[in-house]
Copies of this chain bind each other. A is one copy, B any other.
């Protein structure tokens, strides 16, 4: 199971704490973390995951694997700039968004476009043409975020297997 943790490369201490807890809890569940590989929320999530023996992947915008934060096990140097945001979310079975700015918003958009569940902690809300879009699943704690992400990933797998069988 691979779950993405997304958020800004600079973040508040509260966001960092949330991200670190999310990382710890995901690792304790045996989940691999994928993120954008840089600082802020991404670094805090990786640090949390490594403290519990998790595996962390950083999909970097630049060409240099050494630009990854020190808690990234597998730096993927894409060289494609912000277009790498697509790869961060598509490589995951669910996405946890913590805070975030416009880069995070583009990742949320790409995930929702591909029907990848997005769980949000203090992040963007969307409405379109005056109507609220409730696709982002709002939670209030790191534990709730991780529970949702993992249960939705499992439900999604069961659904996919069912679809395959019915073909």
Residues of A within 8 A of B (CB): 2, 32, 34, 55, 57, 59, 63-65, 74-87, 90-91, 93, 99-103, 105-106, 108-110, 112-114, 122-130
Contact = CB atoms under 8 A, between A and B. Distances in A.
Contacts of A122: 129
Nearest to A78: B87
A110 B78 CA distance: 12
B57 A76 contact: yes
The number of times this chain is found in the oligomer is 4
Contact of A123 (B57, B81, B110, B129): B129
A144 to B, nearest CB: 17
Contacts of A87: 76-80, 87
A102 B124 CA distance: 14
A115 to B, nearest CB: 10
Given A106-B106, A113-B102, A126-B105, A79 B74 contact: no
